[in-house]
A and B are shown apart, each in its own frame.
Chain A
Amino acid sequence: MPELERHSFDVLVIGAGGAGLRAAIEAREHGMRTAVLCKSLFGKAHTVMAEGGIAAAMGNVNSSDSWQVHFRDTMRGGKFLNNWRMAELHAQEAPQRVWELETYGALFDRTKDGRISQRNFGGHEYPRLAHVGDRTGLELIRTLQQKIVSLQQEDFKEFGDYEERLRVFQEFTVTDLVKDGDRIAGVFGYWRESGRFVLFEAPAVILATGGIGKSFKVTSNSWEYTGDGHALALRAGASLINMEFIQFHPTGMVWPPSVKGILVTESVRGDGGVLRNSEGKRFMFDYIPEVFKDKYADNEEEGDRWYTDQANNRRPPELLPRDEVARAINSEVKAGRGSPHGGVFLDVSTRLPAEEIRKRLPSMHHQFKELADVDITAQPMEVGPTCHYVMGGVEVDPDTGSSSVAGLYAAGEVSGGMHGSNRLGGNSLSDLLVFGRRAGAGASEYVRALDSRPAVPEETVTEARATALKPFQQEGGENPYTLHMELQQSMNDLVGIIRRQGEMEEALQRLEKLKERAQSLTVEGHQQFNPGWHLALDLRNMLLVSECVAKAALLRTESRGGHTRDDHPSMDAEWRRKLLVCNVDGDRVSVEEKPQIPIRGDLLDLFDRTELEKYLTAEELS
């Protein structure tokens, strides 16, 4: 057996998207020797795909905005299932996190008086999203990447080594968390390039691995989104919450087939784009749900006036929260009023001058021109729902990001609770920054307070290596690509945007069989940059996480946010008080109910009683 490469750090961050990088910056600034481990090249993480902006109540465009209004919008968007403490911290701290990015060198679009410009977005009462055209995610990732480089330059000046206190291990996959008794002791994984194994010893690990979209066929997510952090946490003994809530973004590309699912930013609608069916009708006016009736325009004239006069008009229903819009599109297509390729029309060409579209939505213009031969300044786009985001994730302490396992932290999409049953657009990037920073600080405090560092038990290393090598040692087994495609098809068809009991039961049976077949996967070639092998290992995570999604979705007999039951179409106030918690024992997922912590009184007082009556039980209101 070749010598195992070993490293030792104070804090390990898994994932190099917005949350991971912000966490790493914080840990390093707390004096921790910090490493970032990421599956792709540094700077390529999925955060680059975020388009619309970062939600933060800075009040630059409308001074009536405040953290309280942002908090209210977030809770409404999540249908009050959110962890209210996370929503509170998020709304309070987001502006600081955005301003801080400017000190790192970010260049946001500006208002006339030179401040950061803010745009409208679904579910946000005021223009709130700091943005750079429609490539805000790229700006965020590059800014954080460059901040890390700047910290490394400081270390170079002080120690003559760029990587003295902060090092990035890129194209590296973590396969297992390693524990010493009850607490985290490090991680085990492999270099994607060489396939060589590495052991990292560290008392604290921050998961910032993003989502799970690659378990679904139509998704806006890249290959990285295989639920690694979710599965690592489960196997290490932490619990996941809210896994039944998956956001299907209403507007993904539907044609050509090879780009099906790729995101079309919500900014198209925020900037005036409208949805029409094959009859040319703006159908969203037919889909305003009862709870939002007083907040949205019921006629086109008022909706159109809102873009220029928000004080005296209600917003157009195209800007309802994403779950509502996605369901509406789904219904229109089902009713036979869809576009030729099975979506609906999203049109900005008749709403804004061509020059303005190119300026405000440059990457959408580019994307449609290059990939679909569609000029969005002259033609409508065809769009339909695409699996975009998982609201569920590791159950964490809101203030520190700590999971129930000592030394294990989570931030960003891999954590659960903040967004409740549905995330508002723009709240993801701010979530990454607010809770990335908090997890970095939380992990640092934990390490500082330790009396003794954990030790890695050698047998767990041997075991982790054996698990990772298994696909090479079996002959005549199945191709991981085949299994992956079957998994994606099953999740898409049976646990997708509209769910039914019978279908989910079938999904669980199929998952059982897939799990069995996954035991005997075979990969060809050797360990050096071998995508077949990588997929075989990622499949283990996807299967475990998919089981959580299907089991939790089957149990929740109501419809709320990113969980729509055809057989239980209404929202049930009793269910709002319950979280579904997933744990794993061996390779079995168990799901249990757990009561929600009641919302703090002063936060409840931010809402009208009539609004609370739509969500809370009579008992809670008394």
Chain B
Amino acid sequence: MTTAQERSDLLNKIGLDAQNKAALGAVLGTGRIGQATERADGRMTATIRIQPDEIAWDPSILVMPHGGDLELELLNDDLNTHCALLPSNGDRKFIWLVNHSRGRATLNLDGPGYYWFSSPTGNDEGRGLTGAIVVLGDVPPEARLDRPDQPRP
């Protein structure tokens, strides 16, 4: 048995976080974690990259401090073509990312909760190009229940 503290070492040792080592692809949720930067006006920015031959988003989990607009830079440093389908209110955003390309996406997410994004071509999604955007925070005060604070897990 392992413990939480050993998680990253064990992922690497077993090969769960890389291509064609333990499984055929990288197991989802095993990549790096990044945090979006908040600008003075409340809009958020972040960069997500596809590293050569990793077939995974870097970071694979992006954390937004609150709901709102996110300006995303997408870099494909891989030697193959991928794409991105990203969650956003109104419609999902799509962009084609040929080898060594840079694109942009503006997303609106109202959170809290988390949302998957992916490269919907071939089985990029299963090999590792499925990532998550996590939105922190709470719903507006007017939407909350009129009751005493309740215990949480």
Partners in one complex: no
A residues adjacent to B (C-beta < 8 A):
none
